[in-house]
Amino acid sequence: MAIITNTVCYLDAGVVLEGFFAFDDSYSGRRPTVLISHAWAGRDEFVQEKAICLAKLGYMAFALDMYGKGILGTSTEENSKLMQPFLDDRQMLQQRILAAVAAVKLMPWVDETNIAAIGFCFGGLCVLDLARTGINIKGVASFHGFLAAPNNLQQQAISAKVLILHGNDDPMVPATDIIAIQQELTQKGSDWQLHNFGNAMHAFTNPKAHDVNFGTVYQEKAAQRAWLMLQNFLAEIFN
């Protein structure tokens, strides 16, 4: 077994984006594929490591790029400046992640009938918005993601299955958003589930998160449980 990794460039409205892909070359033919949407800093080592983990499970994995080739934030201020335009313009966010889906479907290892997407923090919002577009993919999973609905797509049905993995002590997601997304997903006909992890804050899956005052803290037990839940979710939707 060898995990093959590389990068590939693709476009959205003239913006050059760079994704990172990983797959196990001991598998032949096309295989189920998981897109991974990064947190607010950009396509970093964290999501690349997740891509490799998913490749070891037999999936084709693609860590997408929301910001542009080589663009990474290095501070809270830079990260916020990179993310904010997409929070302000959710249609742009949706177009950008749809471009990643279109790009990945062109890759020779991808079974385009078996695609899912996962995301972390800002990336969690991105994959939820991907589902909100009504795209025909198998499912999306949000890890400690933002949940607020966009102003567009209010009437669009959601066909993808949805898994939300949330930290109960996350200060960045108000309780009203949790109630609202459950109502939204139900009204839109989604097959959804939401798991609320006790004693877990924002970014609970990231071992580098350790800022209690900011609300981003790694919680090992919650991270392990969430990853197992993801594996079960993927096995179900790709069955």
Tokens of 212: 């209690």
For 7-64, write each residue's pLDDT tens digit.
999 999 999 999 999 999 998 899 999 999 999 999 999 999 999 999 999 999 999 9
* Domain residue limits, the chain: 3-237
Helices of type H across 22-121? 45-56, 76-88, 90-105
Please say whether the beta carbons of 157 and 189 come within 8 A: yes
For 134-157, write each residue's pLDDT tens digit.
999 999 999 999 999 999 999 999
Residue 165 has what pLDDT?
98
The percentage of the chain sitting over the pLDDT mark of 90, rounded to a whole number, equals 97
Residue 28 has what pLDDT?
87
Cα–chain-centroid distance for residue 201? 18
Pick from 1-5, 96-100, 103-107, 234-238: least confident: 1-5
Residue 1, pLDDT above cutoff 80? no
The values of phi and psi at residue 17, to 5°, are: -115, 155
Handedness of CA 35, 39, 43, 47 (dihedral sign): negative
**Mean pLDDT, rounded, of the chain:** 97
Fold of 3-237: Rossmann fold (3.40.50)
Residue 177 has what pLDDT?
98
Section 202-222 average pLDDT: 97
